[in-house]
Amino acid sequence: MDLADWEEVASVGGFFALRTRTPDAGAGADAGAGAHVPLARIYAGDLGPLTFRVDKVAARLGAPERRVAASIAHLGLAARLWSLALGPAALYGEFPDLPPDDLRWNPDLTSPHDLWLAAPPRPLPATADRIREVVQYGHLLPLADAFRRDGRISRPLLWGNAGSALAGAARELHAWAGKNGRPEVGERALELTAELFRHPDLRPTGTLDGAAFRRRSCCLYYRCPSGGLCGDCVFDHSPQRSSAQPVSE
């Protein structure tokens, strides 16, 4: 993939963009909250950047509980990680390896400036098994562990977020492909997503039907003052905040 290819992937949406050049000094070069830090560092136990991100989301949304902000922060990062693989896989039949040591994250920024691949991209064949190896095993499993170390949040909720994020990435690709006369891209995205959902950790998270998805858990966004239900939420109507069902936890 050359620069023009990366630009086409990024045209799907900001979540699909990957920075491969060194960020400007203003984007953060210190070891504090504003730095691009290797995700491997967070997975290994340095929770400072993750805590900073959750606190920032909590302040922005007025989240009534820390786990609500943690869920929204996790959902956004999961969507970024799936999109970085699924986008180029559907478009070009290959995707970049995303080693946690080289994929660096700035918790103070949003897409497309939050992630930076510090090493030259190494293309991998676009199979569901390879995407699962790189994203699900390489990132989402240790990321869930990191969020659970940072605060109280259930593993089923985090897996529900992972399923929702994957389905959302496929839906964006399918819509982009339709608008740009590239139906084969949309079909490939749906095929890969269906294969990925066959994994026992993702299969129970919801019902996937082509580009449509209905999750079996709730990301808790409805608990925020200005929140509501997401398009794939398990609920049809917002439950009473004082009596949320266990499925949303």
**Structure token pair of residue 196:** 């990925």
Query: Sorting pLDDT into bands at 50, 70 and 90, what band is 226?
Result: confident
**Which residue, among 29, 17, 77, 31, has the nearest Cα to 53 in the 3D structure?**
77
d(CA 245, CA 240): 9
d(CA 96, CA 181): 24
Angle of helix 66-92 relative to helix 183-196, nearest 10 degrees, comes to: 130
Q: Tell me, what's the pLDDT at 244?
A: 39
* pLDDT tens digits, one per residue of 19-58: 888 776 544 444 344 589 999 999 999 999 999 999 999 9
103 forms beta bridges with 117
Q: Is 53 helix (H, G, I), strand (E, B) or coil?
A: helix
Does residue 243 register a pLDDT over 70? no
**Structure token pair of residue 43:** 């997975």
Q: Tell me, what's the pLDDT at 242?
A: 43
Residue 242 buriedness (CB in 10 A; 0-12 / 13-18 / 19+): exposed
- Averaged pLDDT for residues 215-231: 89
Strands (E), 28-156: 37-38, 94-96, 103-105, 115-117, 123-125
Does residue 245 register a pLDDT over 50? no
* pLDDT tens digits, one per residue of 105-157: 999 999 989 999 999 999 999 999 999 999 999 999 999 999 999 999 999 99
Query: Sorting pLDDT into bands at 50, 70 and 90, what band is 182?
Result: very high
Could you tell me the pTM of the whole model? Answer: 0.91
Q: Is 106 helix (H, G, I), strand (E, B) or coil?
A: coil
Among 11-15, 191-195, 214-218, 230-234, the least confident range: 230-234
- Averaged pLDDT for residues 211-225: 93
